[in-house]
Every structure is written in C-alpha cells, then in structure tokens.
Amino acid sequence: MNNLYFIGMIFEGIIIVLISCLFTLIVIKYNKNRNKLILLLFFLCLNIFLAIVFSWLSKVLILYSNIDYLYDDSVSDPLTPASWILLRISDFRISFLFITIATIFSYFFKVKLFEKDFKKFQSFIIMIYGIFTAFFSLVIYQKDNIILDVFTFFFVFLLMCIVYIPFMKKSIQAYKNTSMRNYRNAFLSLTIMSLSFILVLFCFLIDRIYILMGDFGFTLFYFMGWIFLIIGILGAYFGYLYFSENKNKDLKKERER
C-alpha cells in the first residue's frame, strides 16, 4: 500500500513541477500585460496549483509524518484542531476547496468572454452551490467514511459540469461561427480545457468508487485524471492568453456573431 502512495507522490510531484513552469509563464505575462483576463487565468491556475500541492502533501503526510491516525484506519480521530486540518489534507478535502474556487474563476471568465454581464439568478445559483460544495468538503467529514468521500467527489464533479458544460457549448458554437484562424484555435483550446476539467473529476470519482467497492485506489482512472488536468491547464493557458492579447473591439465582434 505504501508503494502506491509513493508512486502517487512522485507522479504528483512531476505534475507540480510542470504546473510551476506554466504558472511562471503566466506571472511573466501578467507583469507585461496587466489585464483582467490574465488575472483570471492567474487565479484559476493558482488555485489548481494549490489543489495539487495539498494532494501531494497528503501522500507525504501518510508516508513520512508518523502520525498514526493518518495511516492507520484502526486509530480514531483525536478530535484536535491539528487532526481537523491534517485529516482534511490527507483526504483531499483542502484540495477540493481550491478546485471549487478555481471553477468559480472559470465561470467569471466565461461571463466576461461570452456574455455582456452576469445573469443574476444563474450567478446566484452557481455561487450558492459553490459555497455548499466548499462547506461539504470541509465540514461534512468523518474519518474513513468512504461514502461521504464519494459524495464530496460527486458534488465537486457536478459543480464542474454546471460551469464547464455551458462553457464548452459556447466555445464550440463560437468555433463554428468564426472564420478567423486564431480565434478558432483559441475557442478550440477552451473547448479542450472545459472537457478536460470535467474528465479530471469524473476519473477521480470513478477511482473513489473503486475504493468504495474495496479496491486500494490509485487505479488507471487516478493517473488519467491528472493527465487530463495537464491538458486542461494547457488549453486554458493558450485560450485565455490569446483573448487577453487581442484588441477589445475584435473580441466584441466575436461576441456578436
């Protein structure tokens, strides 16, 4: 079992290095061209980066902390402030908080790109559900309760579907409606981003269901989830940066098509 955690730690460590390189490029771009779209990309990638770091840290804690209640299922939660934080790190609840925040920033970007303004009711529903998801991730928790874990994965997956499926549809429609090659590439990148981010949580949800059925986890779906995350961030990077570097009047024309 420890070997699986070690493999996961190394795999996620490699992903952290890759995301760090991309995140550095985003920071450089933002310093050169300070606009809202790159700022949204910055916060999106920052929260995804933090989600990966805490996921990686969960494996480090289980492998090397020597804290018995983290790696031994027979040891109960001591119910201390430290155990509250450490258990939620080791069971990915902190990571889900950052994924939830990243998804909300994606919603902001969709509105800025495809719509003139926020739709009040739609925004209210998404924000309320986002708060509910974050609350469930952090508060509705019991050590070694896999069913609660599955619900957490499902609620985050549903939030990503709510945000990214409309995002993907808008991107596909815009891709079909424009003849400008650069815009087509940008909309295609955002379509890939949306689909990939949905598949990330779908794969992790399937991996968690395998655990619920008695598997140790770290199935093929676990590794596929992280690969889709890399693809999604690359799609976000190329899609966001193209629009951030083009004139507002061109972007307005694309919105009106």
Sign of CA dihedral 46, 47, 53, 56: negative
Is residue 29 predicted with pLDDT exceeding 60?
A: yes
Residues 195-223, mean pLDDT to the nearest whole number: 92
Q: Where are the alpha helices (DSSP H) in the chain?
A: 2-32, 36-64, 68-71, 81-90, 93-114, 120-139, 146-177, 181-212, 220-244, 248-256
Predicted local confidence at residue 2, as pLDDT: 74
Predicted local confidence at residue 14, as pLDDT: 93
Output the CATH code of domain 2-256: 1.20.1070
Is residue 243 predicted with pLDDT exceeding 80?
A: no
Lowest mean pLDDT among 36-40, 119-123, 164-168, 210-214: 36-40
Per-residue confidence at 181, pLDDT binned at 50, 70, 90? confident
Residues 115-125, mean pLDDT to the nearest whole number: 86
Predicted local confidence at residue 188, as pLDDT: 93
Length of the chain: 257
pLDDT digits (tens, 9 = 90+) for 79-107: 999 999 999 999 999 999 999 999 999 99
The residue written with tokens 């992280």 in the block is 226
> Backbone dihedral region of 117: left (phi > 0), alpha (psi from -120 to 50 degrees) or beta?
beta
3-state secondary structure 171-190: HHHHHHHCCCHHHHHHHHHH
More confident residue, 180 or 166: 166
Is residue 200 predicted with pLDDT exceeding 60?
A: yes
